[in-house]
């Protein structure tokens, strides 16, 4: 790929502290995806039975472990199997956390562990609504879970046993993306954030920041000309590849693949090495408004 490529590759073969790559906060904060093609999440022989969609509850989106409690969600099976499945996912949480803190020592003591998920199902599943369709380029933003400026750092690993890559598209830089739609986005109706929180539709207040992020997410997914013709690159993450990005900043779409691990971390925008690189700071600069009110 050219030097302008969104994805940067690194040679690390170890999750632990002995790997070569560290202090790459500038790289991830400037909107790159860090890819590690020689960093597999190794399953124990007995865990390979979990590489089958039958463990996923069809009603849930993913199999996941929730933190801080560590409960397993979204899986179906016998109790002792589910205990083994949970142990596998917890191991991914621990390895990816140690790894993230080596890559980004500036975030030590600040990174908060979110859900750890195992996705044994094919990306090309039954069709979803356009809003839930992650085969369309988008930045991550969730209707019920306002981030209030907090960053979403994600560590993915392709664990497909049959050689199938995870196929992604990655898109334009965040600032260009924000400029594309900001002029068309209106303000939320007065009182609506209060109402959504009071009714329990949102877990906490949907701030001006969350309103804009959700609008960017929805407008991008609804805009088929954008999906087709905006600047973008196709990327293949082969099995055994781990990749890391801020998914609230990098435009991404999952086009194919099956069997993936994913760990989400939360980081306050003020705890970045360069807070001015955050979507919050970019949107405040472009709108000339404070967005956490
Ligand atoms: C997404 O975060 O939009 C989907 C990522 C994936 O399933 O590879
Ligand atoms: Fe996404």
* Count of C-beta atoms within a 10 Å radius of residue 199: 8
Instruction: Give residue 4's pLDDT band: very low, low, confident or very high (50, 70, 90).
Output: low
Q: Which ligand is nearest to the CA of 262?
A: 1
Ligand 1, atom 5, lies closest to the CA of 254
The whole-number pLDDT of residue 3 equals: 43
| Closest atom of ligand 1 relative to the 166 alpha carbon | 8
Using the predicted structure, report yes or no on whether residue 107 has a pLDDT greater than 50: yes
The whole-number pLDDT of residue 126 equals: 80
Q: How far is the CA of 246 from the centre of ligand 2 (A)?
A: 10
C-beta of 134 in contact with ligand 1 (< 6 A): yes
Rg of the chain (C-alpha set): 19
The two three-digit tokens of residue 227, written as one number: 């999906």
pLDDT digits (tens, 9 = 90+) for 23-43: 999 999 999 999 999 999 999
Torsion angle of C-alpha atoms 200, 62, 59, 164, degrees rounded to 10: 150
The two three-digit tokens of residue 1, written as one number: 């790929």
Q: Which class would CATH give 7-287?
A: mainly beta
Q: Are strands 7-9 and 33-36 parallel, antiparallel or unpaired?
A: parallel
Q: How far is the CA of 247 from the centre of ligand 1 (A)?
A: 9
* Count of C-beta atoms within a 10 Å radius of residue 277: 22
Residue ranges covered by each domain of the chain: 7-287
- Indicate the average pLDDT of the chain: 96
pLDDT digits (tens, 9 = 90+) for 228-262: 999 999 999 999 999 999 999 999 999 999 999 99
Report the pLDDT averaged over residues 178-206: 93
Whether the full predicted model's pTM is greater than 0.75, yes or no, is: yes
């Amino acid at each position: 790929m050219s030097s302008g490529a969104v994805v940067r590759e690194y040679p690390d073969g170890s999750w632990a502290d002995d790997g070569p790559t560290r202090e790459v906060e500038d790289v991830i904060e400037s909107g790159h995806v860090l890819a590690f093609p020689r960093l597999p999440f190794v399953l124990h022989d007995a865990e390979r039975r979990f590489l089958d969609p039958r463990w996923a509850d069809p009603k849930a989106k993913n199999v996941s472990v929730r933190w801080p409690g560590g409960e397993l969600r979204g899986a179906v099976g016998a109790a002792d199997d589910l205990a083994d499945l949970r142990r596998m996912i917890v191991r991914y949480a621990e390895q990816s956390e140690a790894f993230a803190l080596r890559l980004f020592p500036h975030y030590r003591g600040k990174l908060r562990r979110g859900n750890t998920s195992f996705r044994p199902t094919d990306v090309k599943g039954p069709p979803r609504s356009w809003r839930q369709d992650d085969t369309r380029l988008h930045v991550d933003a969730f209707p019920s879970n306002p981030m209030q400026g907090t960053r979403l750092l994600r560590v993915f690993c392709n664990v497909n046993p049959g050689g199938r890559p995870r196929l992604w598209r990655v898109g334009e830089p965040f600032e260009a993306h924000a400029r594309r739609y900001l002029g068309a986005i209106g303000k939320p109706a007065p009182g609506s954030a209060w109402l959504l929180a009071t009714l329990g539709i949102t877990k906490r207040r949907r701030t001006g920041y969350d309103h804009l992020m959700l609008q960017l997410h929805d407008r991008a997914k609804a805009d088929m000309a954008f999906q087709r013709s905006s600047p973008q690159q196709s990327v293949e993450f082969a099995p055994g590849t781990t990749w890391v990005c801020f998914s609230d900043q990098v435009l991404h779409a999952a086009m194919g693949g099956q069997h993936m691990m994913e760990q989400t971390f939360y980081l306050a925008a003020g705890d970045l090495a360069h807070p001015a690189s955050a979507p919050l700071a970019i949107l405040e600069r472009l709108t000339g408004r404070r967005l956490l009110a």
